[in-house]
Chains A and B, each alone.
Chain A
Amino acid sequence: MQKTMDVFRRRKLTYTLVFLAFLAIFAGASIVAEFHPIDGIVSFPAALQWIAVNLIPDAEAMERLPKILSELMETALLSVAVTVVAAILAFFFSLLGANITKVNGFIKRIVRIVAAFFRNVPDVVWAMLLMFSFGQNVLTGFFALFFTTFGLLTRAFIETMDEVSSHCVEALDATGANFIQKVFQGILPSSLPGITTWVLYMIETNIRSSTLIGILTATGIGYLFDLYYKRLDFASASLVVLSIVVLVLVIETVSNRIRKVIL
């Protein structure tokens, strides 16, 4: 009896300590970064007011809608293309990094390190680096998104594969199936739901990121936003933002549908 009480008391104590630790970290970080939570909250109403006055798209902004939509389309298609290409390559790459399919431990580790490197450099940083070789070009954006997507998907696919298919891969091994047969008859069908979910999620993420990268590389919807913003045409700029939000919502709805059909 004494022992069970101890377990519960210790658990409560752990939660309390973790909560206090978070609070301390937040307070410490706020002081170091000179971020004043109170000031932030106080200035909120004023910010809202400014938004209401300046960021409502007006008639003039609506005239730019066709142009905005065409740029948005281009950005969306680029994101889809990047994600699909990265996903196909990441699938084969992750086969070398998954425990159930690895060639050997050394290659597995290399694969994981490479994937970690690609995904831990933010796409914006990739864009800035790549600008040196490609200049302000759509290719820069493509590769910047590609690198992070590839790194992230490789990591996600490795985990999906190991989690989902180790049992059936063992069985296929026992039938004498070879590597490629195991991949297409065992791993791919079992991890398809996980893979689809990740790919759809990355398409959404990449549409958001490509806006930001577009500002840097002067391409796509990001460029348009930057243009209007620098002209202080806030109404048009906010129309750009709104259309991105709508697009992401639409994509989210579509991908939920797709997920339901596939799962």
Chain B
Amino acid sequence: MALLSFQNVSKTYNGVTKALQDVTFSIEEGEFVSIIGPSGAGKSTLLRCINRLVDASQGTIFFDGKNVTSSKKNELRDIRTKTAMIFQHYNLVDRLSVVENVLHGRLGQKSTLSGAAGHYTEAEKQEAFRIIQEMGLEEQAYKRCDELSGGQKQRVGIARAIMQHPKLILCDEPIASLDPKSSKVIMDHLKTINQTKNITCLVNLHQVDVAMKYSKRIIGVTAGKIVYDGPTDGLTKDKIHEIYQSSDHDLITDVEECV
């Protein structure tokens, strides 16, 4: 059975904005899938429906054999612990240290009191430091997050996600605010996690070339609908123009050929 499946999912904001329309697809365990599409196409909405940061208006979403859309409080908490999320703006608690932010990954699995008080077990702390090391952040472990660079912040974001022991990582434009070098570091980390820990990755991207380099499968979204879902090899130039509703030479990806 697929790890994640959308069945005719639609989302309408405020009864007017149709962000998703009749979206159906499924993702197997271990896949690395990129979602591309123009601004406002509904990519963020799609990801947020999976962990219910946004509630779908219609349709059903299954994750790991559980119905996400109808889940109650405790089930939802369980689903959220298994679906970590990485954000464009990192969304760290800036005034806390790196290690505290990484340990936040455990909150969903802790008792209310020990979580609120920031009381973690020795094993949890050791694991946090191990992950911090994997991310190459050992020198920053005790620094406050507002002292870090964007690339470092995003690595903290990834560490927090790994700390959750998730089955699926949702990445909402993880490299949109980063320079090309930090972007590569982040994408490489995601790839490594995907391959060595067998964590499924679903990544929203604005960079078509990056999406094609890192993932075998790409989903193209336009105006709330899936217009492409298939292997990276099958994503022709025409398809890309269809996704972005553009004509020849309108896209940054076309520039190479012009020069």
Contacts and interface: CB of A to CB of B under 8 A. Distances in A.
Contacts of B105: 175
Interface in B56-115: 76-81, 83-85, 87, 89, 91-96, 104-110, 112, 115
Nearest to B115: A181
Contacts, number: 86
Contacts of A173: 53, 80
Contacts of B80: 173-176
Contact of B112 (A175, A181, A189): A181
Interface residues of B, number: 35
B84 A170 contact: no
Interface string A4-33: 000000000000000000000000000000
Bin chain A's interface residue count. 20 to 34
Contacts of A55: none
A18 B99 CA distance: 52
A193 B92 CA distance: 16
Interface string A153-197: 000000000000101101111111110110111100110110000
B112 A180 contact: yes
B117 interface: yes
Contacts of A170: 53, 87, 91
Given A168-B93, A176-B78, 17 more contacts: A165-B93, A167-B87, A168-B94, A171-B91, A171-B104, A174-B84, A175-B80, A175-B81, A175-B104, A175-B160, A175-B164, A176-B164, A177-B107, A177-B108, A178-B107, A180-B112, A185-B104
20 contacts: A165-B93, A167-B89, A168-B92, A171-B160, A173-B53, A174-B80, A174-B85, A176-B108, A177-B104, A177-B115, A178-B77, A178-B112, A180-B112, A181-B107, A181-B112, A183-B116, A185-B116, A186-B93, A189-B96, A190-B93
Interface of B: 51, 53, 76-81, 83-85, 87, 89, 91-96, 104-110, 112, 115-118, 157, 160, 164, 170
